[in-house]
Structure 1
Amino acid sequence: MTPAPTLTTARLVLRGPQKSDMAAFTAWVTRSDRMEAVGGKGSERDAWRGFLAGIGHWQWHGYGFFTVTERATGVAAGRVGIINHIEWPQPELAWHMFDGFEGKSYAFEAACAVREWAGRTLGLEPLISLIAPENFRSIRLASRLGAMEERRDVVDGEKVIFFRHLPYNDKRAMAQAAEAIA
């Protein structure tokens, strides 16, 4: 369905979106309280459009959101990847974990793998993350990844904090990737 490679970590498989992921994505868009961090809950129509836009992103840019699945169960746990919308200043490392899968360090593990892949394979680095000031969980994750606040701004009508990630070949990033991918 997409040109996405498959990345594996200690506990996860990251792959391109598949039709079977639509139900989990729709549930996240329409019911998850975590949607407040990305503009608010949406309708099933919004989920459909967002899901298809994600597939198109892979076709257009050659990168996008990976579906994050648990290796042990194959269950879709969220999305982590590189996005670059028309209004974005540059490619962004972004993450969305589905309800029930937060607090397990899956986003950290997947983000380490994606950062390494994006830098090594695509030369996209150092990446940014655009995070709403009230999204404390994502701010903590960006900090854990070694990202530093660069500035505060407005992107696509939303207040955001620009975080600059470590280059994939920084010693700290390499140690994180080695631990996550092992």
Structure 2
Amino acid sequence: MTPAPTLTTARLVLRGPQKRDLAAFTAWVTQSARMEAVGGKGTERDAWRGFIAGIGHWHWHGYGFFTVTERASGVAAGRVGIINHIEWPQPELAWHMFDGYEGRSYAFEAACAVREWAGRTLGLERLISLISPQNTRSIALATRLGAVEDRRDIVDGENCIIFRHLSHDDPRAVKQAAGAIA
């Protein structure tokens, strides 16, 4: 369905979205309390449109959200990838873990792999993350990844902190990726 490559880490497989991922994505969009950090819960229709837009993003830009799956079970645990919407200042390293999969360092592991892939393969350097000031978990993850606050801004009508990530070849990023990528 997408031109996405498959990335493998110690515990995860990151791949392009597939039809079978729609149910988990829809549950996240319509039911997860963590949706408040990304604009609020949506409807099944919103989920459908977001899912299809994600596939289109891959075809338009050549990158997008990977579906994060557990290697052992094959179950979809979330999405991590590079997005660049029309009003974004530049490509963003973004993550969304589905309910029940947060707190396992899956987002960190996947983000390390995606950052390395985006820099090495696409030449995308010093990615950003747009994070709501209230989203303390995402702020903690960005900080753990070595990102630093670049500035505060309003993007797509929302207040956000723009974090600037390490380059994929920064020694700290290399060390992180070595621990995450199988």
Q: Which residue of 2 aligns with 1:173?
A: 173
Q: Which residue of 2 aligns with 1:108?
A: 108
Deviation at 1:139, TM superposition (A): 0.1
For residues 145-167 of structure 1, give each alpha carbon's deviation from its aligned partner in whole angstroms, at most 9, with x where no partner exists. Answer: 00000100000000000000000
Q: Secondary structure at the match of 2:81?
A: strand
Aligned counterparts, 1:34-73, within 5 A:
34-73=34-73
Using the size of structure 1 for normalisation, the TM-score is 1.00
Q: Which residue of 2 aligns with 1:140?
A: 140
Question: Gaps (5+ residues) in structure 1?
Answer: none
Deviation at 1:34, TM superposition (A): 0.5
For residues 57-78 of structure 1, give each alpha carbon's deviation from its aligned partner in whole angstroms, at most 9, with x where no partner exists. Answer: 0000000000000000000000
Runs of 4+ displaced beyond 6 Å:
none
CA distance in 2, matches of 1:70, 1:168: 24
Between the aligned residues of both structures, percent identity stands at 84
1:23 and 2:13 equivalent? no
CA distance in 1, matches of 2:152, 2:90: 15
| Paired positions, count | 182
Q: Which residue of 1 aligns with 2:128?
A: 128
- Root-mean-square deviation (CA, aligned residues, Å) is 0.3
For residues 96-134 of structure 1, give each alpha carbon's deviation from its aligned partner in whole angstroms, at most 9, with x where no partner exists. Answer: 000000000000000000000000000011100000000
Question: Gaps (5+ residues) in structure 2?
Answer: none
CA distance in 2, matches of 1:32, 1:130: 20
Aligned counterparts, 1:75-114, within 5 A:
75-114=75-114
CA distance in 2, matches of 1:134, 1:86: 24
CA distance in 2, matches of 1:108, 1:168: 14
CA distance in 2, matches of 1:5, 1:126: 21
